[in-house]
Amino acid sequence: MSFPLHRNPPFRAEHLGSLKRPQSLLDARYKENKSASELKPLEDTAITDIVKIQQELGFRGISDGEYRRHMFWGTFFPALGGMEEIQNPPIETFRMYVPDIAAFMETGHKPGESVYCVGKIKHTGVSTYVDQIEYLKTLLPEEKWGDIKLTMAAPNWYHLRYMDGKAYPKEVYKNDKEYFADIAKAYQVELDILYKAGLRNVQFDDPNLAYFCSDKMREGWKNDKTNTVSVDELFDIYIDLYNDCISKIPSDMHVGVHLCRGNFVNSRHFSEGGYDAIATRLFTRMNVHTYYLEYDTPRAGGFEPLSHLPKNKNVILGVITSKFPGKGRDDPELEDKEEMKQRIYQAADIVAKGAGETREEALKRVGVSPQCGFASHAEGNLIDIEGMKKKLALVRQIADELWGGEP
């Protein structure tokens, strides 16, 4: 599966979906505790403004900034039959070595909420995301509806974090295979509903897959004697889960996966480690079209794993950080543009060598973006809205200079 970058998603210049919220919207939601009905017109106005900003900056893949969400994973799981959101969940259900859980504990926090399986999982037939798509359609001409990007939670999100046997009641599911089969069916229904609503551009946000790059997580898994499969066996199971979830999508629906390393208080990331341990299986076995990869700091390792990227897949290089100001020579708040262009050429050369291509051929399957969203959680990273706009403008400028103004 492959989508030419100049015609369909992904595009040369991308962002990862979540964008900084205006302070007025944050205050209304968290300080004034406005109801959903009171928030909606405020959200509508803020989304209208952020869509206009994306268009002015020259981006084709348009999102609503995730402005209607509290956290990046949205509302899919709590809306499923058989799943229940629990406030202040019992800490003993969590694997303490999973990077986000470990980060919570190290900073004196604990998960504020989590979703647990309490019965047979089933899609209700009503999507909590359709209204988000429908509102974006009112802001764009019909010929650009296919550019709309919707971010979705990873299908494994409420599995890895739980101790073995805690993700679902044993009287409901005998094993992971049964549990994942129903998760996949729910995603198949969701994607069908979204496709019928006009969505053609889906991005899964998945910190869990990046956690498999972490030596700390892998060692923690190995030392946890309650686990019944190895860490690498679990990674393969998750790939199979993804493939099952997207097995029924139409041929003109683009699916990408963002391997996120986490955003938390004060722009903290959760995990480190290069893609080396997972690259071959990630790139060759997972049936997605595009990988959105973080490459803004050395914590993600080098570009060498990109040599395993097949000829029919794309990669968006997250070389611009969304977490902090940059250290550019021309602008201290931005990365150095020429340095970033050279990094993209370096990555393309590795892609080319692995696929037996020229640099020019490999670049046809490459794009550029910030490494993550600007507001995976509503409060956002340590960068203001103007700083975010400057970062996005830099992404667009790099894309224009490398690809001659293609979308």
Of 134-143, 237-246, 290-299, 326-335, minimum mean pLDDT range: 326-335
Q: Is residue 18 part of a domain?
A: no
Instruction: Provide the terminal-to-terminal Cα distance of the chain, rounded to the nearest Å.
Output: 20
Q: Is residue 57 part of a domain?
A: yes
248 pLDDT more than 70? yes
Structure tokens at 271: 């995990």
Beta-carbon count within 10 A of 117 CB:
23
Q: Is residue 8 part of a domain?
A: no
What pLDDT score does 330 carry?
Answer: 65
- pLDDT tens digits, one per residue of 154-206: 999 999 999 999 999 999 999 999 999 999 999 999 999 999 999 999 999 99
Q: Is residue 222 part of a domain?
A: yes
Q: Is residue 13 part of a domain?
A: no
Q: Is residue 12 part of a domain?
A: no
DSSP secondary structure letters along 248-302: T--TT-EEEEEE----BGGGB------GGGTHHHHHHHS--SEEEEE-SSGGG--
Q: For residue 63, which phi and psi values (nearest 5 degrees)?
A: -120, 170
pLDDT band at residue 1 under the 50/70/90 scheme: very low
Full residue range of the structural domain in which residue 184 is found: 23-403
What pLDDT score does 161 carry?
Answer: 93
Q: Is residue 7 part of a domain?
A: no
What pLDDT score does 3 carry?
Answer: 38
Q: Is residue 41 part of a domain?
A: yes
2 pLDDT more than 60? no
407 pLDDT more than 90? no
- pLDDT tens digits, one per residue of 337-379: 999 999 999 999 999 999 999 999 999 999 999 999 999 888 7
307 vs 187: CA distance, rounded Å: 31
- For residue 184, the domain's CATH number is 3.20.20.210
- pLDDT tens digits, one per residue of 94-152: 999 998 888 777 766 777 789 999 999 999 999 999 999 999 999 999 999 999 999 99
Structure tokens at 347: 């990555």
- Please count the structural domains in the chain: 1
What pLDDT score does 332 carry?
Answer: 64
